[in-house]
Amino acid sequence: MKESFDILIVGVGGQGNILFSKILGEAFLNEGYDVKVSEVHGMAQRGGSVVTFVRAGEKVYSPLVDKAQADYIIAFEKLEALRWLEYLKKDGIVIYSDYEIPPMSVISGKSRYPDVDSILKDIGVRHYKIEISSLLMELKNPRVQNTIMLGFFSKLTGIEKQVWERAIENNIRAKLLDINLRAFEMGRDIELKEEELKV
């Protein structure tokens, strides 16, 4: 069992950060960790860049993950993986969905959507890229990307699969449970292969 986890969950308001962090928090709690989760509500949710912090350890004080402290950044949107990069600690890992939501300045042509893959490689950040579109197509449901990402991330935690499944069952409405458990399974089936970095 790992000693502690400092995790950033980043994305765009409305992508379901809060639900994801609830499931994560509950799984850690049931594994016996002290847990803190910090959420964002209100104005910040309206399609803006959002971050949720999840911390687990023997004793957790601050609910915030500090800059240069995160073991993992989990990004539900590609560009957001870059925005929060200063929070990653040395040798920390970025897990990101290749889903793109262009910000307004990109839509209006005032700025350019960056090439996330090559920037991460250039900086030399360890990362996993989840090619989400084809998986979502297979499930015919765009709303379960987080659960796929959770499935993938769960393999890095050393926590038993059943613990995760129970946390999902406790937090997701019965009607949507089946599709989410399938999405979780699908995430677990993704091969754990880090993207290669430029030398």
Partner 1 sequence: MKRLMLGNHAIARGCFDAGVRVATAYPGTPSTEITEYISQYDEIYSEWAPNEKVALEVALGAAIFGKRALCSMKHVGLNVASDPLFTASYTGINAGLVVAVADDPGMHSSQNEQDTRNIAKAAKIPVLEPSDSQECLDFARRGFEISEMFDTPVVLRSTTRVSHSQSIVEIDERKEVDFEYKKDVEKYVMMPAMARKRHEIVEEREKRLREFAETVELNRIEEGTSNMAFITSGISYQYVKEAYPDACILKLGMVYPLPEKLVRGFCGRFEKVYVVEELDPFLEENIKVMGVNNIIGKEIFKRTGEYSPSFIKTSIEKCKLEIPYRVDEELPARPPVLCPGCPHRGVFYSLRRIKNAVITGDIGCYTLGALPPFNAMDTCICMGASIGMAHGISKVSDPSIKTIAVIGDSTFIHSGITGLIDAVYNKSNILILILDNITTGMTGHQDHPATGYNIKGEETRQLDIAKLCRSIGCDVVEEIDPYRINENIKRINDLLEIPGVKVVIAKAPCKLHRRYNTTLPGRYVDPDKCKNCKVCLTLGCPAMSYREIPDIDPNLCASCGMCESLCKFGAISMIKE
**Residue 185: φ, ψ to 5°:** -60, -45
β-strand pairing of 49-57 with 5-12: antiparallel
Q: Are 92 and 73 in contact (CB under 8 A)?
A: yes
Residue 188 touches partner 1, criterion: CB under 8 A? no
Rounded to a whole number of angstroms, the minimum distance from the CB of residue 163 to partner 1 is: 14
- In the complex, minimum distance from the CB of residue 80 to partner 1, in angstroms, rounded to a whole number: 8
Give least dist CB 37 to partner 1, A: 4
Nearer to partner 1 by Cβ, of 106 and 177: the residue is: 106
DSSP tag of 135? H
Taken in order 71, 76, 82, 83, is the CA torsion positive or negative? negative
By DSSP bridging, strand 5-12 and strand 70-75 are parallel
148 binds partner 1 (CB under 8 A): no
Contact residues: partner 1, CB under 8 A: 12-14, 22, 25-26, 29, 34-49, 60-64, 66-69, 79-80, 82-83, 85-86, 88-90, 92, 101-109, 111-114, 119, 123-125, 142
